[in-house]
Chains A and B, each alone.
Chain A
Amino acid sequence: MSPTLFWQVFRLQVVMTLRTPDTLHVFVTAPLYTTLFLAITEHADRRDLAGFAVLAPVLMSLWSMALMAGGELIGHERERGTLEAVVATPARYSSVIAARIAAVTLLSTLSLAEAWLVAWAGFGILVTIAHPALFLLGLLLTAAAMAGTAACVSALFVLAPSARILQNTLSFPFFLLGGVLVPVDYLPHWLQPASKAVFLSWSARVLRAAVSPGPSHGTTGALLAVVLLGLAGFAAGTLLIDRILRRVRVTGTLARM
């Protein structure tokens, strides 16, 4: 996909998202989840965990937005009757999907500003980032991995009988396995190996290290895991979407996809 085409698709998705209030619901849920988590930690007199409570809604927003985008892009094209026309264009459909998901995911990183503001204005807590470069790198790689994983999810949505159920199902199990608020060490031992396959667990580790004072050990491996798992998701998604499209073109069942 050429950079020009990527930019055009990216821009189109940003405009479409901004004009559909419902797709922006994470900007309403992120400050509310921040309030929930901070209320719990403040009530327990654990201000040292404020950074964790601010980061968790950001990771949750990124994941929710990617799931929503992954699940509904193809569905909306199908409902509007534009899927056939988009697939018939010379641009590779899986790349168009990836560019659109990247736009949505990048938009949802704005929830970080919201969460930070809730902590500051609502609870009088100034969350500082001890390692800004690590934080920025971690956030960007997380957003990229999220987009890659969402590409895979969008393929699953095509195959699943009910996209909405899948969308609902994939939220909290992944927040739990990904240790977005409570580190995965607190999960039962038998569940901990599974969390290693979820890139969110590595992202949470990097971002938490970035907001914690003191040296940040072991983050290089975690960053690498985020990249590798994101790439694996993207490769699997691209492969699946391409194979599904090839098949429905042969059988003439694109409209029923």
Chain B
Amino acid sequence: MDITASRVVDVTRVVRAAAANALADFRATYTWYSWTFGWLGRMLCQVTFFALIGSFLHSAEQTRYLVLGNSVATCVIEAMTVVVSTSWERAHGTLALLAAAPSEMGWVFVGRSLQWPVSGCGTSLVALLVLDPLFGVHFAAAQVPVLVLLVVLTAFGTYGFGLFLGAFVLAAPAVRNIVYNAAFLVTMAISGVQVPTGYWPFGVRLVAEALPATHGLAAVRALADGASPAAITRPALYAAVTGVLWLTAALTAFRLSAQRARRHDGYEFAV
């Protein structure tokens, strides 16, 4: 086996072991009914809350825009939870051990919080396929596989962005909830969830272009509007590319953070 192949096997093994941890964490947090009636119910209420603003504005078009945007945003919110769960390793006191282990720490964190984008995809798809028709947004059966793919792209692209933020929150776990809330709310504001990105000034639009959610959502909107395959594929590709770039940035940030922590003993226990 050459060096590259052996490295891929190593990375897969690390991510798989960390993902088993993620699954155990998820099962300890939720039961099927607390996820369904607690989390999912709450997120559907959030989507309805924003959709009703459209009704309040007496605009069917606005209602449709808001319900679709906020349904996709549910997977963004959930995938971004990685910002919070990454810092849990410090509260558990396991970070120093991870820093001492021979495998690259970034890949551990890639697997460590996979429960969130997976659960987020479930939440988004329920919102899109069950709640949205009540507000006039319908997807044909033939569109569903593409819709699933686009939601997965959006959730995992955002997960890369969240991981990048998580690498910094490791150094300051006390602000994890602030960073998490700010990150998903800024995304919800500028990425075309509530208003078209064109509403914002040029600088803000530029930031929005760097977010996978902006492109993932644009692709879902194009699909819902029955646009041509090219009009759906282009933003989907942008979502994939920005997602990969954020993941690369996150792995680099974890690598640099681990190097710095090893030198300065920076990974002590912290709640």
Contacts and interface: CB of A to CB of B under 8 A. Distances in A.
A29 B57 contact: no
Interface stretch (B48-56, B92-100, B221-229, B253-261): B48-56
B269 interface: no
Contact of A182 (B55, B181, B182): B55
B189 A176 contact: no
Given A33-B185, A39-B199, A181-B49, A165 B29 contact: yes
A251 interface: no
Interface of A: 20-22, 24-25, 28-29, 32-33, 35-37, 39-41, 43-44, 46, 49, 162, 164-166, 168-169, 171-173, 175-176, 181-183, 186-187
B33 to A, nearest CB: 11
Interface residues of B, number: 35
Given A176-B48, A181-B49, A187-B52, A168 B186 contact: no
B56 to A, nearest CB: 4
Contacts of B178: 21-22, 24-25, 28
Contact of A32 (B38, B56, B186): B186
Given A40-B66, A172-B42, A172-B43, 13 more contacts: A22-B178, A24-B178, A25-B181, A32-B181, A36-B194, A43-B194, A43-B199, A165-B30, A173-B42, A175-B45, A176-B52, A181-B56, A182-B56
Interface in B34-49: 34, 38-39, 41-43, 45-46, 48-49
Contacts of B55: 182, 186
Contacts of B175: 21-22
Contacts of A22: 174-178
Nearest to B175: A21
B59 interface: yes
A39 B39 contact: no
Given A176-B45, A186-B56, A36 B177 contact: no
Nearest to B61: A44
B165 to A, nearest CB: 14
Contacts of A173: 41-42, 45
Most buried by A among B45, B56, B57, B62: B56
A44 B59 contact: yes
B195 A169 contact: no
Contacts of B41: 169, 173
A168 B30 CA distance: 12
B235 to A, nearest CB: 21
A158 to B, nearest CB: 17
Interface string B177-192: 1100110011011000
Interface string B196-211: 1001000000000000
B189 A39 contact: yes
A226 B159 CA distance: 42
A40 B39 contact: no
Nearest to B49: A176
Contacts of B186: 32
18 contacts: A21-B178, A22-B174, A25-B177, A28-B181, A28-B182, A29-B181, A29-B182, A29-B185, A33-B185, A35-B189, A36-B185, A40-B194, A164-B29, A165-B29, A172-B49, A176-B45, A176-B49, A176-B52
Contacts of A49: 56
A162 B34 contact: yes
Contacts of A21: 174-175, 178
A187 B196 CA distance: 26
